[in-house]
Structure 1
Amino acid sequence: MSTLMLKTKSEDEFLKVMTFKNNNEHVFPTYQLDHVVDFDPKYKLEEEEYYRIIEFSDKNFCLDILKEDFSDTNFNSIQDFNDIKIDFIFWVKDKDYYFQRVTFKQVVNKKFLNLTSKKMVDEGPVLVIKEEADAYYDKENDILYFKNFNAIKGIFSEIEVLYKEATDSEVAAFFSKDFIEVAEGYTIDSVKVSNRKRISMIESVLNDLSEEDLKSILEYIREYNDLIYDSAVNKFKIKSEQDLKNLLYGIDQRYYTTIVGQEKRVANSVARI
């Protein structure tokens, strides 16, 4: 037996949608977990890969309902879909939980033509189920699997701590580094989400660098891009989002030269080997 559940937005309540008596009935297909990597904001998944977060129940952003033994008898059944706004749905089968975030585009109130019966159907609202769940939680092994971080942050609201953006004060602190000169017209307000995330991730790198290591990295950055560098004061001039991205990629040592052909390249995604 398995159960389809939903969480409401306004009341922050879990409700039972329906129970499946037949285990052959599936809301979502099973994840094919042949290629799995531990979540790292710096790493971009290949098409066949999934992120994972181990010991998920120990994390602050784990839902309380996942920490308890599930029984659908503990929840009220939904009475009228028209009266609620759905936050997300999840299907529970044994100790497997499959989650899908629900947006307004996935709840449809329109007439449909049933191509089998060739009759018009007017039974909305209709909830669109995705080809694959946004996240899969293996309760037995306490592991969360997913592909799209933006999709699951709407389910596990506090999970953004893993991929946080630098605040204005943190951006200001980065701009005050001895090796940076910010051009007039490019301000803290100019720094967009992507670079704020990169600044947040790069802080730990900078904190671990000795003065000699930092000097070596700054020389390395000059070798790989055309950032304006004032040798009189040993500062890179940052005048745009692209300049800032190039500098941050350099600090993270993402530039490299191929062994054959000596071609200079930049890695958009990195992972420890």
Structure 2
Amino acid sequence: MTEPLARYELPAPGVARIVLDRADKHNAINPQMIFDVNTAFDKALADDTVKVIILAADGRNFSAGHDIADTVENYQADMQERSPRLSTWSGFEEPATHGWYASEKEGYLESAKRWRNISKPTICAVQGKCIAGALIFAWVCDIIIAAEDAKFSDPVMTFGMPAVEWLGHPWELGPRKAKEFLFTSDMWDANEAHRLGMVNHVVPRSDLEDFTLAMAQKVASKPSFALKIAKEAVNKTLDIQGQMNAIDQAFTLHHLCHTQNFRLFGWGMDPTSVPGLAKVPEKPE
């Protein structure tokens, strides 16, 4: 049996901690990790003694993002195998645009929605690199605590894509800084993220775990039902402002880019700017 890539812990009364457990690969996100994290969130949700959930990671880096170091095809095949267990979509076996859309919709978009709306406060602790798909893990949490060494980037425009599958950028950074973040693919440090309001606190790396747990314990001291209602009220405010509709629409545009890349390269991303990412297929006639 494959070992889980997300560890579940109960570090204090009222607090559950989910830990990305793939430090040897810089916690690169593969389909197993996504669904292991989802299982851990479900476990925390079902436990009435848990009032707050921490999402953290082992090792030097929070996460290097989606693990496409092997091939995107293998990644998508694994996602397509795992996704139908929860999804209402079909067509996972179709190899090109339909299959990509179905598997990414469930594995990225719908999982992120579930985590964002889970009826308990969530706190993400970020150290080191938090790249591309890893931003989704952080952004769906209610509070983000960053270590001083944390760095954030979404470089997927280099692959011929507009952004990761969860376009939280305008909400997290503001529209102009979101465009800069995407257009340049630059990596921004924790202090810049804090200045823009993307993270709540920046602390020394050595204090990250203790600071995050102390905040979780403070939150857990509040009445459980009130916490759930407060979270729902804030999320509904964002929904009324259009956040979720905007993210849904951006996901379809993300797949317009996949389709364009299939048309140009016979593959879902533009591989010409990323040496070693994949062999460039012959352009279809």
- Give the helix-richer structure, 1 or 2: 2
TM tier, shorter chain? Answer: under 0.3
Which structure is larger by alpha-carbon Rg, 1 or 2? 1
TM-score normalised over the length of structure 1: 0.19
